[in-house]
Amino acid sequence: MAAVKKGIEEKIKKIKLLIFDVDGVLTDGGIIYNDEGQELKVFDVRDGHGIKLLMRAGIDVAIITARESRAVSFRAANLGIEHVYQGMRDKAEALGLILEKKALAPEEAGYVGDDVIDLPVIKRVGFSAAVADAVDEVKQRVDYVTKMPGGRGAAREVVELILKTQGKWDGIIEKYLA
């Protein structure tokens, strides 16, 4: 895991909701179209399992993405993610809606992004992370930069960081060893 900036542990301990961007975070940013024009995306199974572990540990998950894709709807449903905001050019607006629905303060939310469109949310949440291959403008402004690139384990890395910092990881592993 990448180094954590000093003082970030206290921010992470407050997290009750983790929000993900999709393209470039939960995927590698590539978009594939088949001959019928249907959009295809590749998601990492370990990222998905990490998201499930996070939710089982009592931390809610949401998605905010500027694009719209049926693949995202299918993936979110598969993982049990209820709060999915697609087509959100103003991601801060979506953040406000989620926080209101969940009755959470901004410092209780975390966000993982990769591009400048994510900056308005990054500025407002309590904990922010960028994937290793995010643009420099984002990496310079977040609390944590992953070692792994988007769509290739970055989401799992952030999940494990949160669960370990909150003292929940060992209990999860114990269940698998029982």
CATH number at residue 168: 3.40.50.1000
Nearest of 121, 148, 133, 169 to residue 18 by alpha carbon: 121
- CA gap 148, 157 in Å, rounded: 7
- pLDDT for the residue numbered 2: 54
- Per the structure, the complete domain to which residue 109 belongs is given by 16-177
Q: For residue 11, is it within any domain? A: no
Nearest 5°: the CA angle 146, 151, 157 is 35
- pLDDT for the residue numbered 3: 52
Q: For residue 38, is it within any domain? A: yes
Q: For residue 36, is it within any domain? A: yes
Q: For residue 3, is it within any domain? A: no
Q: For residue 51, is it within any domain? A: yes
Nearest of 10, 8, 40, 19 to residue 112 by alpha carbon: 19
Q: For residue 141, is it within any domain? A: yes
- pLDDT for the residue numbered 178: 87
Using DSSP, state whether 133 is helix, strand or coil: coil
Number of domains in the chain: 1
- pLDDT for the residue numbered 117: 97
- pLDDT for the residue numbered 30: 92
Using DSSP, state whether 10 is helix, strand or coil: helix
- pLDDT for the residue numbered 77: 97
- CA gap 80, 175 in Å, rounded: 21
Q: Which residues of the chain have pLDDT under 50?
A: none
For the four alpha carbons of 121, 124, 126 and 132, in that order, the dihedral sign comes to positive
Q: For residue 5, is it within any domain? A: no
